[in-house]
Structure 1
Amino acid sequence: MEQIDIMVNNKKLDWERKMRALETRLDLRDQELANAQTCLDQKGQEVGLLRQKLDSLEKCNLAMTQNYEGQLQTLKAQFSKLTNSFEKLRLHQMKQSKVRRKELPHLREEIPFEMSNLNQKLEEFRAKSREWDKQEILYQTHLVSLDAQQKLLSEKCNQFQKQAQSYQTQLSGKKQCTEDHSSEDPQLMCDLDHSCEASERDEFIIEKLKSAVSEIALSRNKLQDENQKLLQELKMYQRQCQAMEAGLSEVKSELQSRDDLLRIIEMERLQLHRELLKIGECQNTQESKKRLESSYSPSTKEPERKRKELFSVTLDQPNHEKELNKIRSQLYQEEEYHGSEQERMRNEISDLTEELHQKEITIATIMKKAALLERQLKMELEIKEKMLAKQQVSDMRYKAVQTENTHLKGMMGDLDPGRYMTSEITDIKSMDFTNREHSRHTSVNKLEYENERLRNDLAKLHANGKSAWANQNTYEEMGLYTYQNQIKMEKHEDRLSQDREPNRSVMSPLPPMPFQTKEMTSPLVSDNEVFPLSPPDIVFPASLAAQHFLLEEEKRAKEFEKLLNTHIDELQRHTEFTLNKYTKLKQNRHL
């Protein structure tokens, strides 16, 4: 008994350790989930900020693109205006050149040659001025860099001078100290030697600094000389620029004088042209006078001929009036006929519009009915989805209870196998699977009741300590045997579900159970011994019934989904057919 108590206590400790480990794992998992949730929230916030930034950037890009497009349009308009003005000027120049070629061939030969020479000179002067501007910019940049270098060198010189002064002051102080302490101990002499060495080093550094300062001063002088040379060159270039500008002004004055001469010549040409026009007009007037004089002689004969024609027309006037009356009557008849036809066409158009309105109303009612049917189908689908979700929840609950029941029954089988094996067999015999719709709920309730009963039994057994742990190996073998038989039962059930037999007996795949309680309660069993018990007797019949019920429910749900899909397809086809029909009718009417 003491050993049993010790084993029970050890098992309790193991159970407690496992429970604590599981609790710690659960806590860690909860913490990890919380951390993951916080990370997800942070990522969501970051995504929101990034989206806001993207929106702002898109808005900025749109504004920029609009501005650029406006600027491009303005530039295009300006460019088009410039091209038009250039073309107009070119045409005007072409016309002027043609006129000049016709009227003044000598000037045409002389002036373009001089103009071309002047243009070449201007281009040369402009190229030289550009080169001088570039050189001036380069020299200015070089001067700026030289000034900066000069400032840096002056600063370095000042620093070196300050360092040299500080070193000199230190040396003078050290020398005074050596002179004052020359009459002291030999230790001071050693110190003096060290200080002398340091002073020599400092003097060497000072000499180096002085040499560097001298080099810097030389480089500074060189830079100043270069600056002076550059300034002189700049002055020379400026003088040349001034001379070129003076030459350009002279050339411009010459061009202006030539332009004035050309204008005077054009004015003279215009005056000559006007005089020629006046002379031509005088000649035309003289010719017209001559023609009038020649045509005046036959004009006297024409009035007599016209008088005769008028006399003949006055005789034929009553006949013409009769014809006019006939034509007026025909016109009145045609107007009345056209008015009647217009009224008839208006009536037909009104009738057709009424028919169109009625058909549009019928189409709208049909569309509303189709929308209502779609909504009803969606509601039915949502209800079915909710039912399936509830069914899945109940299945999960059933599986959880089943696993707990198997675990507890395994524990109780290890503690007192005979009692619970017999009780399970009686439960299997007493179960009724005729009503399959209510079997699942009853099995769940029974399993919950069994779980409570098994928990109470476990508490009693742990309290009393009346359990036999010696037969643990035999019970493990029995558990393996039950697991193998469970696999066989599941395979057999799959075959039966494929055959789709109408009435399935739950106990049919079970082998006969000729067992005795004496064999179960035997204290020791050999390893090679095999029980004649068929062990799918603990929880497997209930699980089989639940599996059968779930399979049937899934089949029914699939069939219902198929029916719904077919109904939806039919409705869609019907709506498409009606829409096509009415669209064709509308097209035909429009045609």
Structure 2
Amino acid sequence: MQHFLDMENQAHNTMGASPCEAELQELMEQIDIMVNNKKLDWERKMRALETRLDLRDQELANAQTCLDQKGQEVGLLRQKLDSLEKCNLAMTQNYEGQLQTLKAQFSKLTNSFEKLRLHQMKQSKVRRKELPHLREEIPFEMSNLNQKLEEFRAKSREWDKQEILYQTHLVSLDAQQKLLSEKCNQFQKQAQSYQTQLSGKKQCTEDHSSEDPQLMCDPDHSCEASERDEFIIEKLKSAVSEIALSRNKLQDENQKLLQELKMYQRQCQAMEAGLSEVKSELQSRDDLLRIIEMERLQLHRELLKIGECQNTQESKKRLESSYSPSTKEPERKRKELFSVTLDQPNHEKELNKIRSQLYQEEEYHGSEQERMRNEISDLTEELHQKEITIATIMKKAALLERQLKMELEIKEKMLAKQQVSDMRYKAVQTENTHLKGMMGDLDPGRYMTSEITDIKSMDFTNREHSRHASVNKLEYENERLRNDLAKLHANGKSAWANQDTYEEMGLYTYQNQIKMEKHEDRLSQDREPNRSVMSPLPPMPFQTKEMTSPLVSDNEVFPL
């Protein structure tokens, strides 16, 4: 401005000599000066844009490396999935082999039981008499078998309850999986929308840069917005990948639980089959007992009939003997003695046969009782082993549930930490942008190229550490900018017209700090039972510095 005033004074002095030529020369000189100034400004802006393009290229290279790392991680995860599938196939093959062996054993037992039942039916037809000690032992065995049946029924009820609980747990896991899939779809939609917005903004910036270079000074805010959008998109991509991993884990756990439920159902079916076999055995024994009782009653009736016949014969003989003459008595006695002597060896043979049959039946009953006891002991051992396997599977299911709960709690804690750090980062970044804008307004020659931030090259594998480092860098840069402001105010470079902007900056930072503290309190109240130990955010220093304007006296002081 002083140069222009000098030029005007010289023009007024030389008006008398040649006014037209002097005015033309002055206009040409002014045009040259304006063109040079514009050229310098454009060169500065072009350099700033070139630096920004270089930074964007670096960020793209870093993003490409991160994508390559993610691809490697995906390959490793696929290898792990293949190994897990192979292990599951091996386990299923082992379980199928065990099932086949159990089926073979079960078929053998059924065949042996059918043979035993047929043999017992044949023996029941042959039996004619019953020993007294069998009558005492059979009800005792019946009571034992009834007790075992009641125990089996109670265990089957418990297994039904456990199956219902597992089904409810599976339903809850399916609901969680659906929620996670919905969240993942929402994140993917948001990422696509951000990508479309970024592509549109990039096309707009390219069109503006190709058409009119006069608007090169304006895309600062659009570049910052695009950088923020890219940062948000990267965050969303990382969140989507984490949610996909968690969904895959939940699917694997659901498959494991389904396999365990199938195993439980198979075991329950096997136990029910065993119970049905025991019931059939009890029914067969009841039938045998009924048949034996019927035979005993028939034998008793036949004995009564034989006794009645003998009594009638004796009475007839007595009557005949009483009415017959005495001469016939010795002849009758001789005949009776002769018949008795003839029939005596036959009676002895019959008695021996009956004794041998009774002895054989006693031995057979003893062997059958021992065999039945051995079978019952084997069945009890098998039931005990199955109960042990069920208890181990229940313990494994409880451990899996605990692991799921722990993983969900850890994820919630990590999300809370990430939200708090994001809020802190946004507040510090907004304060930094406002301070840089203020410094650019105060001293544009020095802070024209300092608007570009160097905190975009973040390592996505260790996001929390890089975020804390970026926050610390921004806080250090804010302190440095505040010190520069204080120096400028002390040297007298500031003016009274900039006081309103300083007050707006202070109020804006103070409001951001209050919002961030309220959000932190809300998060702490929501997640108080599952809260992890975190270092609280340090309060942002908002210093009220005094500024003395050169237009006012030294006694008037205006705080920020």
**Normalising to structure 2: TM-score of the pair?**
0.32
Structure-2 change in CA distance of 1:459 and 1:350 (3 Å): same
Which structure has the greater CA radius of gyration? 1
For structure 1, which segment, 189-198 or 410-419, has the greater mean C-alpha deviation from structure 2 after superposition? 410-419
Alpha-carbon contact 2:420-2:520 (below 8 Å) kept: no
Deviation at 1:115, TM superposition (A): 2.0
Deviation at 1:172, TM superposition (A): 1.1
Alpha-carbon contact 1:157-1:213 (below 8 Å) kept: yes
Deviations 1:48-87 (A, max 9, x none): 9999999999999999999999999999999999999999
Deviation at 1:402, TM superposition (A): 97
Match for residue 460 of structure 2?
433
Whole-Å separation in 2 of the counterparts to 1:429 and 1:231:
46
Whole-Å separation in 2 of the counterparts to 1:189 and 1:530:
39
Whole-Å separation in 1 of the counterparts to 2:238 and 2:470:
109
Alpha-carbon contact 2:45-2:217 (below 8 Å) kept: no
State the superposition RMSD in angstroms. 37.9
- Provide the secondary structure at the position in 1 that maps to 2:120: helix
Deviations 1:204-225 (A, max 9, x none): 2212211221221121111111
Deviation at 1:268, TM superposition (A): 1.3
Structure-2 change in CA distance of 1:343 and 1:7 (3 Å): farther
Structure-2 change in CA distance of 1:446 and 1:334 (3 Å): same
The number of equivalent residue pairs is 533
Structure-2 change in CA distance of 1:470 and 1:137 (3 Å): closer
Deviations 1:437-456 (A, max 9, x none): 99999999999999999999
Match for residue 487 of structure 2?
460
Alpha-carbon contact 2:62-2:457 (below 8 Å) kept: no
Structure-2 change in CA distance of 1:527 and 1:74 (3 Å): same
Deviation at 1:230, TM superposition (A): 0.6
Deviations 1:171-196 (A, max 9, x none): 11111111221267788445411111
Alpha-carbon contact 1:413-1:421 (below 8 Å) kept: yes
Alpha-carbon contact 1:514-1:532 (below 8 Å) kept: no
For structure 1, which segment, 273-282 or 505-514, has the greater mean C-alpha deviation from structure 2 after superposition? 505-514
Alpha-carbon contact 1:8-1:465 (below 8 Å) kept: no
Structure-2 change in CA distance of 1:281 and 1:29 (3 Å): farther
Whole-Å separation in 1 of the counterparts to 2:244 and 2:456:
120
Whole-Å separation in 1 of the counterparts to 2:325 and 2:108:
61
Alpha-carbon contact 2:494-2:549 (below 8 Å) kept: no
Deviation at 1:9, TM superposition (A): 102
Deviation at 1:262, TM superposition (A): 0.7
Structure-2 change in CA distance of 1:51 and 1:191 (3 Å): closer
Deviations 1:368-417 (A, max 9, x none): 99999999999999999999999999999999999999999999999999
Q: What 5-or-longer segments of structure 1 have no aligned partner?
A: 534-591
Match for residue 484 of structure 1?
511
Match for residue 342 of structure 1?
369
Whole-Å separation in 1 of the counterparts to 2:509 and 2:439:
15
Whole-Å separation in 2 of the counterparts to 1:254 and 1:84:
13
Alpha-carbon contact 1:398-1:444 (below 8 Å) kept: yes
Alpha-carbon contact 2:489-2:547 (below 8 Å) kept: no
Match for residue 496 of structure 1?
523
Match for residue 72 of structure 2?
45
Whole-Å separation in 2 of the counterparts to 1:429 and 1:174:
19
Match for residue 477 of structure 2?
450
Alpha-carbon contact 2:194-2:233 (below 8 Å) kept: yes
Structure-2 change in CA distance of 1:285 and 1:157 (3 Å): same
Structure-2 change in CA distance of 1:27 and 1:509 (3 Å): closer
For structure 1, which segment, 356-365 or 278-287, has the greater mean C-alpha deviation from structure 2 after superposition? 356-365
Deviation at 1:276, TM superposition (A): 3.5
Alpha-carbon contact 1:136-1:234 (below 8 Å) kept: yes
Structure-2 change in CA distance of 1:170 and 1:480 (3 Å): closer
Deviations 1:324-373 (A, max 9, x none): 99999999999999999999999999999999999999999999999999
Deviations 1:118-164 (A, max 9, x none): 22332232222222211211221222222222222222211211111
Structure-2 change in CA distance of 1:496 and 1:31 (3 Å): closer
Deviation at 1:508, TM superposition (A): 110
Structure-2 change in CA distance of 1:305 and 1:47 (3 Å): farther
Match for residue 311 of structure 2?
284
Match for residue 56 of structure 1?
83
For structure 1, which segment, 136-145 or 339-348, has the greater mean C-alpha deviation from structure 2 after superposition? 339-348
Structure-2 change in CA distance of 1:411 and 1:297 (3 Å): farther
Alpha-carbon contact 1:182-1:189 (below 8 Å) kept: yes
For structure 1, which segment, 152-161 or 448-457, has the greater mean C-alpha deviation from structure 2 after superposition? 448-457
Structure-2 change in CA distance of 1:388 and 1:317 (3 Å): same
Alpha-carbon contact 1:474-1:525 (below 8 Å) kept: no
Identity over aligned pairs, percent = 99
- Provide the secondary structure at the position in 2 that maps to 1:434: helix
For structure 1, which segment, 290-299 or 520-529, has the greater mean C-alpha deviation from structure 2 after superposition? 520-529
For structure 1, which segment, 121-130 or 132-141, has the greater mean C-alpha deviation from structure 2 after superposition? 121-130
Structure-2 change in CA distance of 1:102 and 1:26 (3 Å): same
Q: Does 1:99 align with 2:142?
A: no
Q: What 5-or-longer segments of structure 2 have no aligned partner?
A: 1-27
Deviation at 1:267, TM superposition (A): 1.4
Q: Does 1:8 align with 2:48?
A: no
Alpha-carbon contact 1:408-1:451 (below 8 Å) kept: yes
Deviation at 1:240, TM superposition (A): 1.2
Alpha-carbon contact 1:474-1:527 (below 8 Å) kept: no
Alpha-carbon contact 1:489-1:509 (below 8 Å) kept: no
Whole-Å separation in 1 of the counterparts to 2:202 and 2:477:
110
Alpha-carbon contact 1:178-1:192 (below 8 Å) kept: yes
Alpha-carbon contact 1:418-1:517 (below 8 Å) kept: no
Match for residue 384 of structure 1?
411
Deviation at 1:165, TM superposition (A): 0.8
Whole-Å separation in 2 of the counterparts to 1:46 and 1:423:
38
Deviation at 1:257, TM superposition (A): 2.6
Alpha-carbon contact 1:405-1:447 (below 8 Å) kept: yes
Q: Does 1:515 align with 2:549?
A: no
